[in-house]
Amino acid sequence: MAEGKLPEHDADCCCSPVVACKRIALIHATPVAVPPVVEAFARLWPEAEVCNLLEDSLAPDLERASGLDERMISRFIRLARYAEDCGADGILFTCSAFGAAIEAAAKELAPLPVLKPNEAMFEEALNAGKSIGMVATFQPSVPSMEEEFEAMKVQLGSTAQLQTLCVPEAMTALRGGDTKTHNQLVATEAAKFANCDAVLLAQFSTAQAREAVSESVSATILTSPDSAVSKLRQLAAQR
């Protein structure tokens, strides 16, 4: 488990003695999720103190298992408790495949804000239109994401329809360091949603394909990091 943070802020940021800054813990299951969300914080909420916790056995363990079990859920609660013990004012999980485990952690830590990776993006999408397309790159995350979308749709009284395409070859390319191929593969799949009201880039790591996708579709393009950072900033300000 590694811990890091954004570069030191200048003297008149909110980390000054006069105004306490917000410490946000990001909990990752894969290294490729780290750069996109750190970049989103630097752009959208530079005053936040960001701490990264990486537990990269989670994703392969899930791939080998038949689904989330009590042991996996317990691991998520312990990770969240550790972040809380480190003084976190909010927690953001960045892997989309662990919805029920994150919900359990959020329940344990309430009222501390604990955000699932895609809930803010789904909320934005449901306000963007009725036809939503989503491009994923990690197949085990798709069922839980679709369930989460449907649950939020009912909660908000929406009639929007979600279509999902998964391109695991893009994740393979990214893990191998080939960002260009990753972005091209995601953009090719996203082009199939050209008539949708919004196109969602499902994984945090997929956000880096946004520019390539924008050349393929004119619809609203939403990414998990941008939506999550904006939502978490709002929730932290309310505490």
- Tell me the domain boundaries of the chain: 23-117+226-237, 119-224
CATH of 119-224, one of 3.30.300.30, 3.40.190.10, 3.40.50.880, 3.40.50.1860: 3.40.50.1860
Per-residue pLDDT of 207-235, as tens digits, reads 999 999 999 899 999 999 999 999 999 98
Split at pLDDT 50, 70, 90, the class of 64 is confident
Instruction: Please tell me the predicted confidence (pLDDT) of residue 20.
Output: 57
* 87 dihedral zone (left: phi>0; alpha: psi -120 to 50; beta): left
Mean pLDDT of 92-112: 90
**Looking at per-residue confidence, does 160 or 64 come out higher?**
160
CA distances from 140 to 14, 39, 61, 62, 215 (A): 39, 25, 11, 8, 28
Instruction: Please tell me the predicted confidence (pLDDT) of residue 10.
Output: 39
Split at pLDDT 50, 70, 90, the class of 7 is very low
Instruction: Please tell me the predicted confidence (pLDDT) of residue 100.
Output: 87
CA distance 236 to 85: 17
CATH architecture of 23-117+226-237: 3-Layer(aba) Sandwich (3.40)
Per-residue pLDDT of 127-145, as tens digits, reads 999 999 999 999 888 998 9
Per-residue pLDDT of 11-54, as tens digits, reads 333 343 333 589 999 999 999 899 999 999 999 999 999 999 99
pLDDT above 60 (res 6) = no
**Fold match flag (23-117+226-237 vs 119-224):** yes
